[in-house]
Chains A and B, each alone.
Chain A
């Protein structure tokens, strides 16, 4: 299985901060990387797919980049509603696997 490792596991931030979350794959996954946002008690929602494509309705302050084994989710100016746990997920091969999550607090 491809192991996905996120860092940091948690992050205490402030409104307006620029936030960067990294995701590393145990082997190259080309650009087959997705990001999800999960708010407490809710199902995850798709944030970014194919490394850098924003899902419809996702604010432009979110961005994704990377390729191969190293990927980044960035939030240019953190808003209170961005408090959530963020997961990366590889779709390169089966079984699809997720990172362990990064919890953002304000």
Chain B
């Protein structure tokens, strides 16, 4: 059964760069888009973006320009970088995946355990 394990710095100062990584245990790495989402405290879920094994990306326009996803297929690992963080970027960040060839039949499963990122001076 596939598992996603994520890690990264949990406390940042305003203007710093958020960096998180997620490693995939099990199953094919090439059959999915690898995805990041976030959830501000007490709020709903926001899709950040996704990357496939070839490095093709899709980003949420609300974050475009600040977010970069990268992938290392040899390590079955993908990463999120978000520059110039502010208090508005405080959230639990999750990694997950969606099927690569589902057309519009896409869903997120499974999810990483989540990483709380706090932004404070």
Roughly how many angstroms separate A91 CA and B104 CA in the complex, as a whole number? 6
Please name all residues of chain B whose beta carbon is closer than 8 Å to the beta carbon of A36 when the two chains form the complex: 45, 108
A-B pair number, CB within 8 angstroms: 61
Q: Pick the contact of A89 from B45, B104, B105 — CB < 8 Å?
A: B45
B62 touches A95 (CB 8 A): yes
* B interface bracket (residues with beta carbon within 8 Å of A): 20 to 34
A43 touches B44 (CB 8 A): no
Binds B, one of A19-27, A75-83, A98-106: A98-106
Q: Is B58 an interface residue (CB 8 A)?
A: yes
Please name all residues of chain B whose beta carbon is closer than 8 Å to the beta carbon of A92 when the two chains form the complex: 104
Please name all residues of chain A whose beta carbon is closer than 8 Å to the beta carbon of B62 when the two chains form the complex: 95
B44 touches A100 (CB 8 A): yes
B111 touches A45 (CB 8 A): yes
Please name all residues of chain A whose beta carbon is closer than 8 Å to the beta carbon of B114 when the two chains form the complex: 43
